[in-house]
Chains A and B, each alone.
Chain A
Amino acid sequence: MMPRRFLALSILVPVLWTGGLSASVDFNRDIRPILSDYCFTCHGPDERKRKGELRLDTAAGALKGGETGDTIVAGKPDDSELIHRLFSTDPDEIMPLPKTHKKLSKGQKELIRQWIVEGARYEEPWTYVPPRRHPVPPVEGNDWSENWIDNFILTRLQRENLTPSPDTDPVTLVRRLHFDLIGLPPTPGEVNQFVKRWKEDPSACLEATTDELLASPHFGERMAMYWLDLVRYADTCGYHGDQDHSISPYRDYVIDAFNDNLPFDRFTREQLAGDLLPNPTVDQKIATGYNRLLQTSHEGGVQAKEYLAIYFADRVRNLSNVWMGATVGCGQCHDHKYDPYTSRDFYALGSFFADVDESQHFKVGSNSLPTRRPPEIEVHTKRERQRIAELRKLLKTARFADEAARKQVETELAALEKARRKTMITVAIKPRTIRILPRGNWLDDSGPVVEPAFPAFLARNNPPPASARLTRLDLANWLTDPDAGTGGLTARVMVNRFWYLVFGSGISKRLEDFGGQGEAPVHPELLDNLAVEFYESGWNVKHMMKLLVTSRTYRQGSLTSVVLRERDPYNRLLARQSRYRLPAETIRDNALAISGLLRTDYGGASAKPYQPAGYYRHLNFPARKYAHHADDRQWRRGLYVHWQRQFLHPMLRAFDAPTREECTAERPRSNTPIAAMTLLNDPSFVEAARVFAERILKEGGKDDKARLEFAYREALSRLPDGKEREIMTRLFQAAGKEFKANPAAARELVSTGQAPVPGNLDAIEHATWTTVARAILNLSETYTRN
């Protein structure tokens, strides 16, 4: 027996690497994913498709076995039909059936055998077990840990015989902090200050800087960038004519919410059910725009009933992706294949939204811009109202130096008062009757009527009061109540995403799917503790972000090594920090910030940067002409850029910004020639380069050496080394020669964009430095978060 066991384990090693080298097999980590992937389609939760009376997703089902006898005999793999079938070579016997085109690897088969040898223990899927606090592992001789996160990380690394990386240098760290927390680069002054404080006391420096950044209004913008992907926020309705719709105040609400550190449970309640709160405030009404973010069709000839069914499914998919880390959308046609959600659960969850007034647009949703999707209200956002109050008070109380000063305040006030924006909100009407649609067919009215209800298997312990119909508010409460609902699970889904935002990938890899097709967490206890910390802190987002970035784990250098690359190629164990390309919006913001062009106005209607002519040529109903903003709005942050679902701005698209048709929890980070051409040639970036060059010339000192150093410090927070100086000098000389021969070309280049062209600069010199500036903006390092 010994040799076989040895063989089995040696095969296990590569399979198990994410789960560590522990000697025993862990059902949730090792076995469930295999069963889910290969077996549950026919032997899983979907009763109607179940084959051979065998169910493998529950212990009871496995124990009972199928029609062909002892499926699993604990401890006795050779008596287990499952093992026989998996290892069979007979095409009539082997599982999975050849026609499924799914084949287990040898390692996977051995893993299942080993699991049966060890007793074939089932565990409830980790994702539905509420998180609990685990004891923090003590680490011997540990002076590395800064907080308890580090103990979990370090324990695991020690088990793997790995060591954490040394702290990164303070310059890299301050850049990392700025990009992660506010999505903008630090200025050279901020870098210097950080380095100085770091030398005095690294931990105190990190804490103070974190506090400053969390208090910055840009923190909310950075977090909103991510939230808007999740909830699929866009400025247009998506289907057919892809007309604009009125929703930008919702975007500003999200930014405000993160900046004001609105507890996440309230944030949830206000978006799902702000209208159902007692005496809802304007902001709570704006928040209910969440329920209206889905795509709507204004195509001639659409059947309202069909589209209401489409909207219904859209809402369930998004709600379950965002708050539950689940893919309940599968239930539209059938019980979920991998997770315990039934088709009834799908329709019952959707029924919570049966009262959302969404059918007015079928009558009045014209092809105008914006289209009409009542109910809509005209509002000032929170910050706008605060500013109005401030100005009014000022006018009443302040003594102005002269009439001009007063006039200025009056003008701003008048402009603001006029600047109300329309926004879609949720208004509850008499709920539509919701039926289970057989196979999702909206033409079939034969299915039973359902009322709002929580997924049956999750609500087991908390039977809802049966007296009144459940509402969206009940749903929001259930999602955020760790005791009488699934608050703990929601917290775990969210903290995993916070983790992703500062470490580059989640503790559980699939940020939108914690189900059978997801991935068990690499650090399950840590993820649990973070989840508990989140709700026990009062759903305090800033607290969580601070906890993460003040860990020692966060501070590590990102350099990889031969050993790490082999042992942990995706850096899941975090023996180092991660380095990755910045998100699309941040690439834009970074270039604009370096150039000095960035306008940091807060909130407001969406902005329209330069866009190639004719890009909207194929939009119709109505035909579209794009006019970029000819004023300061041109240089606003990427998150404010007009989000045209069907023709997303090509720069955003080239760097993987999603179309926001569906929930996006994690963006790909592609690396393409189109992206290269965008950074080289998009006028926004060329203009940024020539304005940056203007700064280099005016602020960078007298000689070329000082100027190059200035440019590097502004863009990369460091000085160029000898080789870099050489390369840049060669480029500088080549460009200089070229422009001297073609002064007209120089003038052309430095006139790119609408920023005023300085009259007092030599065009040839300016163009030459523009070339250097373009090169700097195109450096991999410039748009890599390290």
Chain B
Amino acid sequence: MDPALEYHQLQSRRRFFQGAGLKVGGIALAQLLGQRSLAAEPTVADDIHPALPGLPHFAPKAKNLIYLHMNGAPAQQDLFDHKPQMEKFFDKELPDSIRNGQRITTMTSGQKRFPVAPSRFAFERCGQSGILMSELVPHMKGIADEIAMIKSVHTEAINHDPACTFVMTGSEVPGKPSLGSWLSYGLGSESQNLPAFVVFTPTVKNPSQALFTRMWTSGFLPSKYDGVKLRSAGDPVLYVKNPPGVRPGDRRSMLDALGQLNRKAFERFGDPETQTRIAQYEMAFRMQTSVPELTDLGQESKATLEMYGPDVQKPGSFAHSAILTRRLIERGVRVVQILHRGWDQHGNLPKEIKNQCLDVDQPTAALIRDLKERGMLKDTVVVFGGEFGRTAYCQGKLTRENYGRDHHPRNFCMWMAGGGIRGGLTHGETDDFSYNVTEKPVHLNEMNATILHCMGIDNHRFRFPFQGLQQRLTGVEDAYPIKDILL
């Protein structure tokens, strides 16, 4: 007899039968042990990924979040913050009274002049509320009445890395969980075959900036709250595909054998982790089936596909990511984040921002419409914006046709729509140069507080202990949701 086996047989009997029924994951062990048949149905926990007890704190307006992150920082003056007054100052020095000695990056701090660069794009009032939008985003104009445009967002960071880290984790210091991880941790998932938090990083013509995993990883929370990247090339989810030569049938018999063997281990050791593992292997199996189904657009109507624009069938495009986003939300995924790179226009801005908008404008508007048509917009909060804004003054050579803009954390535009958000309004104001907030400043912490609020979470009560502090997404200071934009 094998010594290890002998010991465990002896010990399991002695210890397990001391009591009537050891409760493990809701299943009495005695009951399991009574089931002599090892071919019994796998005992998947009722809910693989439940919400924290006590969450949501109050009735949520939205169940899901879609976060469209324009990485690199779009120029607010050219998209949403119309400043006709800048026209008179073309190529003139930005007035000292506006610049106010505020810090600028070392990319332009050496410049001799800070000439004002008015936007060369035409603006118009859109929708019933008259939100201002430029000609760069013709499709978004059509959803103006769904949107709460916030013109007075500000942050502290002036470089990409800390700013991106802040916009997604509420801290410039790396190591904190991303917004999606917080939500996945707090609210759990409604999907039994897809992750709670999915991330897209579409390809762009001119990537220019880098992305950081900390924008979707879990920081000090367990890594199971990491965002799962849905990839356009190779495996759509890392390691989702069977190894070469292994067919779906083999996969099932492998899983069956593993399930049975692991259940035997559970009988032997009574370790609930083993049971969870059985459930996770089953979930992995379901993901292997549900991911291909998810990415198959065959069932989408022609009208829907056309709405998202010409790139919709192109894996890796923003449009493709956008329609998959809707499909994920439909399937109970809690948070979807699209990180679209290429918005860092230090030079050659007019041409490049146009390309960027060609990528995102139509699919973004289509996503809002599509969600609305399916009755899902009311349950989904959608956020659109970058990590900071751009300067009123020109970086590099200024002409009527061409200019560049440096980083500007003091004010920028973001918009929100959907569950819990009052559409068709503009919140906050900036000065004539879009250089300083003049009304209703909104810190990124307040943006995040607003998102959490829409999802039924009180940001002050939503915490996790780390490094001696009850950490919160919205920081140590109080931060309140933006009441004016809430329904």
Asked if B2 is an interface residue, CB under 8 A from chain A, the answer is yes
Q: Let me know if A673 and B270 touch, CB within 8 A.
A: no
* B231 to A: closest C-beta gap in Å: 7
> Contacts A239-B161, A560-B270, A734-B250 known; A618 to B341 CB distance under 8 Å?
yes
In the complex, which of the residues B239, B245, B246, B468 contacts A336, with contact meaning CB atoms closer than 8 Å?
B468
* A738 to B: closest C-beta gap in Å: 5
Asked if A339 is an interface residue, CB under 8 A from chain B, the answer is yes
Asked if B257 is an interface residue, CB under 8 A from chain A, the answer is yes
Asked if A122 is an interface residue, CB under 8 A from chain B, the answer is no
Q: From residue 106 to 147 of chain B, which have CB atoms closer than 8 A to chain A?
A: 106-107
On chain B, the residues within 8 Å of A714 by CB distance are none
Asked if B313 is an interface residue, CB under 8 A from chain A, the answer is no
Interface of B is mostly: loop
Binds A, one of B76-84, B273-281, B294-302, B367-375: B273-281
> Contacts A101-B460, A239-B161, A779-B261 known; A562 to B38 CB distance under 8 Å?
no
Asked if B51 is an interface residue, CB under 8 A from chain A, the answer is no
In the complex, which of the residues B269, B274, B468 contacts A338, with contact meaning CB atoms closer than 8 Å?
B468
On chain B, the residues within 8 Å of A300 by CB distance are 106-107
> Contacts A242-B210, A300-B107, A780-B273 known; A727 to B260 CB distance under 8 Å?
yes
Bound Cα distance A301, B404 (Å): 15
Q: From residue 626 to 674 of chain A, which have CB atoms closer than 8 A to chain B?
A: 646-648, 650, 653-654, 656, 659, 661-662, 668-674
Q: Let me know if A775 and B7 touch, CB within 8 A.
A: no
Q: Let me know if A517 and B469 touch, CB within 8 A.
A: yes
Bound Cα distance A376, B105 (Å): 28
In the complex, which of the residues B195, B240, B243, B265 contacts A749, with contact meaning CB atoms closer than 8 Å?
B243
Binds A, one of B8-16, B86-94, B417-425, B432-440: B8-16
Interface string of A272-301 (1 = CB under 8 A from B): 000000000000000000000001010111
Asked if A131 is an interface residue, CB under 8 A from chain B, the answer is no
> Contacts A513-B467, A675-B280 known; A779 to B262 CB distance under 8 Å?
yes
Q: What range describes how many residues of B lie at the interface? A: 35 or more
Bound Cα distance A727, B244 (Å): 24
Q: Let me know if A731 and B276 touch, CB within 8 A.
A: no
Q: Let me know if A169 and B253 touch, CB within 8 A.
A: no
In the complex, which of the residues B159, B256, B467 contacts A297, with contact meaning CB atoms closer than 8 Å?
B159
Asked if A69 is an interface residue, CB under 8 A from chain B, the answer is no
Asked if A82 is an interface residue, CB under 8 A from chain B, the answer is no
In the complex, which of the residues A170, A443, A561, A774 contacts B18, with contact meaning CB atoms closer than 8 Å?
A561
Asked if A155 is an interface residue, CB under 8 A from chain B, the answer is no
In the complex, which of the residues A313, A518, A618, A767 contacts B201, with contact meaning CB atoms closer than 8 Å?
A618
Interface of A is mostly: loop
Q: Let me know if B246 and A745 touch, CB within 8 A.
A: yes
Q: Let me know if A170 and B245 touch, CB within 8 A.
A: no
Q: Let me know if A686 and B243 touch, CB within 8 A.
A: yes
Bound Cα distance A247, B237 (Å): 32
Asked if A31 is an interface residue, CB under 8 A from chain B, the answer is no
Bound Cα distance A617, B316 (Å): 12
Interface string of A393-422 (1 = CB under 8 A from B): 000000000000000000000000000000
Query: Total number of A-B contacts with CB less than 8 angstroms?
Result: 298
Q: From residue 293 to 318 of chain A, which have CB atoms closer than 8 A to chain B?
A: 295, 297, 299-303, 310, 313-314, 317
* A715 to B: closest C-beta gap in Å: 12
Interface string of A721-738 (1 = CB under 8 A from B): 101100110110011001
Q: Let me know if B3 and A195 touch, CB within 8 A.
A: yes
Bound Cα distance A272, B454 (Å): 48
Asked if B31 is an interface residue, CB under 8 A from chain A, the answer is no
Asked if A595 is an interface residue, CB under 8 A from chain B, the answer is no
Asked if B242 is an interface residue, CB under 8 A from chain A, the answer is yes
Q: Let me know if A670 and B254 touch, CB within 8 A.
A: no
On chain A, the residues within 8 Å of B222 by CB distance are 656, 668, 670
Q: Let me know if B284 and A734 touch, CB within 8 A.
A: no
On chain B, the residues within 8 Å of A487 by CB distance are none
Bound Cα distance A339, B258 (Å): 49
> Contacts A560-B15, A749-B245 known; A303 to B103 CB distance under 8 Å?
yes
Q: From residue 173 to 206 of chain B, which have CB atoms closer than 8 A to chain A?
A: 173-175, 195, 201, 203
Asked if A742 is an interface residue, CB under 8 A from chain B, the answer is yes
On chain B, the residues within 8 Å of A197 by CB distance are none
Bound Cα distance A678, B226 (Å): 15
Q: Let me know if A562 and B234 touch, CB within 8 A.
A: no
> Contacts A563-B18, A581-B273, A780-B262 known; A650 to B210 CB distance under 8 Å?
no
Binds A, one of B212-220, B348-356, B381-389: B212-220
Q: Let me know if B280 and A780 touch, CB within 8 A.
A: no
On chain B, the residues within 8 Å of A771 by CB distance are 246, 250, 254
Q: From residue 660 to 715 of chain A, which have CB atoms closer than 8 A to chain B?
A: 661-662, 668-678, 680-683, 686
* B382 to A: closest C-beta gap in Å: 23
Asked if A614 is an interface residue, CB under 8 A from chain B, the answer is yes
Q: Let me know if A620 and B207 touch, CB within 8 A.
A: yes
Q: Let me know if A650 and B224 touch, CB within 8 A.
A: no
> Contacts A327-B467, A612-B235 known; A301 to B407 CB distance under 8 Å?
yes
> Contacts A299-B160, A646-B214, A668-B222 known; A330 to B234 CB distance under 8 Å?
no
In the complex, which of the residues B15, B107, B257 contacts A730, with contact meaning CB atoms closer than 8 Å?
B257
Most buried by A among B106, B249, B277, B467: B467
* B387 to A: closest C-beta gap in Å: 13
Asked if B486 is an interface residue, CB under 8 A from chain A, the answer is no
Most buried by B among A302, A516, A682: A302
Q: Let me know if A303 and B16 touch, CB within 8 A.
A: no
* A716 to B: closest C-beta gap in Å: 8
* A688 to B: closest C-beta gap in Å: 12
On chain B, the residues within 8 Å of A670 by CB distance are 222-224
* A207 to B: closest C-beta gap in Å: 20
Q: Let me know if A618 and B210 touch, CB within 8 A.
A: yes
Q: Let me know if A612 and B254 touch, CB within 8 A.
A: no
On chain A, the residues within 8 Å of B253 by CB distance are 730-731, 734-735
Asked if A329 is an interface residue, CB under 8 A from chain B, the answer is yes
* B449 to A: closest C-beta gap in Å: 14
Asked if A224 is an interface residue, CB under 8 A from chain B, the answer is no
Asked if A238 is an interface residue, CB under 8 A from chain B, the answer is yes
Interface string of A742-754 (1 = CB under 8 A from B): 1011111111100
Bound Cα distance A626, B148 (Å): 43
* B253 to A: closest C-beta gap in Å: 4
Bound Cα distance A497, B38 (Å): 40
User: Nearest residue in B to A615 (C-beta to C-beta)?
Assistant: B238
Q: Let me know if A683 and B213 touch, CB within 8 A.
A: no
Interface string of A548-569 (1 = CB under 8 A from B): 0000000001111111010000
Q: Let me know if B5 and A718 touch, CB within 8 A.
A: yes
* A285 to B: closest C-beta gap in Å: 28
* A361 to B: closest C-beta gap in Å: 14
Bound Cα distance A301, B159 (Å): 7
In the complex, which of the residues B4, B175, B247 contacts A742, with contact meaning CB atoms closer than 8 Å?
B247
On chain A, the residues within 8 Å of B406 by CB distance are 301
> Contacts A299-B159, A661-B214 known; A721 to B5 CB distance under 8 Å?
yes
Could you list 27 examples of A-B contacts with CB < 8 Å? Answer: A239-B161, A299-B161, A518-B468, A557-B7, A559-B12, A561-B15, A561-B16, A561-B19, A562-B21, A563-B19, A565-B22, A580-B273, A614-B234, A618-B201, A671-B276, A672-B224, A677-B240, A717-B4, A718-B5, A730-B253, A744-B245, A745-B247, A749-B243, A771-B246, A775-B258, A781-B265, A784-B273
Additional A-B contacts beyond A674-B228, A738-B250, A747-B245 (5; CB < 8 A): A171-B3, A516-B468, A677-B237, A723-B38, A731-B257
A residues with a Cβ closer than 8 A to B are 101, 166, 168-172, 195, 238-242, 295, 297, 299-303, 310, 313-314, 317, 321, 326-327, 329-330, 336-339, 443, 512-513, 515-518, 557-563, 565, 579-581, 612-615, 617-621, 623, 646-648, 650, 653-654, 656, 659, 661-662, 668-678, 680-683, 686, 717-719, 721, 723-724, 727-728, 730-731, 734-735, 738, 742, 744-752, 767, 771, 774-775, 778-781, 784, 786
Going nearest first, the 10 A-B pairs with the smallest beta carbon separation are: A562-B19, A327-B468, A749-B245, A748-B245, A169-B7, A301-B105, A620-B210, A618-B211, A668-B222, A171-B4
